[in-house]
């Protein structure tokens, strides 16, 4: 195994560190939060020796580990000296915003035992200064929404995705078998002429060319596909902007074998859905 790329995620309490770790996990990083500093070298070593392909990992470290401020610089230099691809991400925010976030969540600051919240934040800034000095990237989350923070992380650690990776699942189904509970958008295509009543097509499915040709040549199909494309071109960027990562679009006909299947296949093969990854499944095609 090659030596892994390690991102050390740190920062002030309330600045978004936990959310950043979740985002990195979604990007394929193996993530561990609040690992004691004494175990960090062993963790990195185990990642390098793993046969599970742990080529990228992220470690969350913060003021909850009381030895962090005294040991971090030494550990950082040791790991860098050993040739590991180590990067420190530090999240920060203004005192005013941190106070507001703690007030809104009603969670206690880890240092606010015998001192006020404002004093605890100022003390944490002092204790975390050595970690901040080692940071390769500092993100100030004062004015960022969670979606904007996700975008910032994706731009740096997941290039090509832009923070807005959206997997579109296209499903066909039959209404007589029930509407799928996990669908975000449901389209009823029973207005299309039914191949079930055409000699030679009943025993086929919407995956097969004779059925697809029958449906494709109808004016209703062309009009529907044109309007559907316009709707999706409008909706998908908005879903992405809101941070949605999965979208299920379901097409239903009576039995789920002909019209809905063909339309799902047309969407996959003939339409570019905003550069999104498309997965197609036909729920009721064998029923």
The 10s digit of each residue's pLDDT in 96-152 is 999 999 988 888 898 888 899 999 999 999 999 988 998 989 999 998 888 888 878
pLDDT in tens, 139-175: 999 988 888 888 788 878 875 554 456 778 899 999 9
Structure pTM?
0.60
**Distance from the first to the final alpha carbon of the chain:** 47
Q: In angstroms, how far is CA 238 from the centroid of its own chain?
A: 15
Question: Which regions of 68-123 does DSSP assign to beta strands (E)?
Answer: 85-92
**Domain limits of the chain?**
5-157, 167-282
Q: Is the pLDDT of residue 1 over 50?
A: no
Three-state SS for 33? strand
Percent above pLDDT 70 for the chain: 90
pLDDT in tens, 166-180: 778 899 999 999 998
**CATH (one of 3.90.550.10, 3.40.50.11540, 3.40.50.300, 3.40.50.880) for 5-157:** 3.40.50.300
In the block, residue with structure tokens 């009543």: 197
Q: Is the pLDDT of residue 80 over 80?
A: yes
Three-state SS for 69? helix
Backbone angles phi, psi at 248, to 5 degrees: -110, 120
Long-range contacts of 118-125 (CB under 8 A, 24+ apart): 121/12, 121/13, 121/95, 122/95, 124/12, 124/13, 124/63, 125/12
């Amino acid at each position: 195994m090659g030596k892994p790329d390690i991102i050390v995620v740190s920062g002030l309490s309330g600045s978004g560190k936990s959310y950043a770790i979740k985002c990195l996990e979604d990007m394929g990083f193996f993530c561990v939060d609040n690992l004691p500093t004494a175990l960090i070298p062993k963790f990195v070593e185990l990642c390098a020796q793993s046969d599970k392909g742990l080529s990228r990992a992220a470690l969350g470290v913060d003021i909850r580990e009381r030895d962090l401020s005294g040991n971090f610089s030494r550990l950082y230099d040791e790991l860098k000296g050993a040739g590991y691809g180590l990067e420190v991400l530090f999240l920060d925010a203004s005192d005013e915003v941190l106070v507001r976030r703690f007030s809104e969540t009603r969670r206690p600051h880890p240092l606010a035992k015998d001192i006020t919240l404002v004093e605890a934040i100022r003390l944490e800034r002092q204790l975390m200064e050595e970690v901040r000095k080692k940071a390769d990237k500092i993100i100030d989350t004062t004015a960022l929404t969670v979606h904007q923070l996700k975008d910032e992380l994706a731009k740096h650690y997941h290039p090509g995705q832009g923070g807005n990776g959206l997997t579109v699942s296209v499903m066909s189904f039959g209404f007589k078998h029930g509407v799928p509970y996990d669908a975000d958008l449901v389209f009823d295509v029973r207005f299309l002429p039914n191949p079930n009543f055409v000699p030679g097509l009943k025993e086929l499915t919407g995956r097969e060319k004779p059925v697809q040709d029958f449906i494709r040549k109808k004016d209703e199909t062309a009009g529907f596909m044109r309007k559907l494309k316009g709707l999706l071109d409008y909706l998908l960027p908005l879903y992405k902007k809101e941070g949605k990562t999965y979208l299920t679009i379901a097409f239903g006909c009576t039995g789920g074998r002909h019209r809905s299947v063909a339309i799902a296949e047309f969407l996959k093969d003939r339409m570019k859905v905003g550069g999104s990854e498309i997965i197609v499944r036909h729920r009721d095609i064998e029923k």
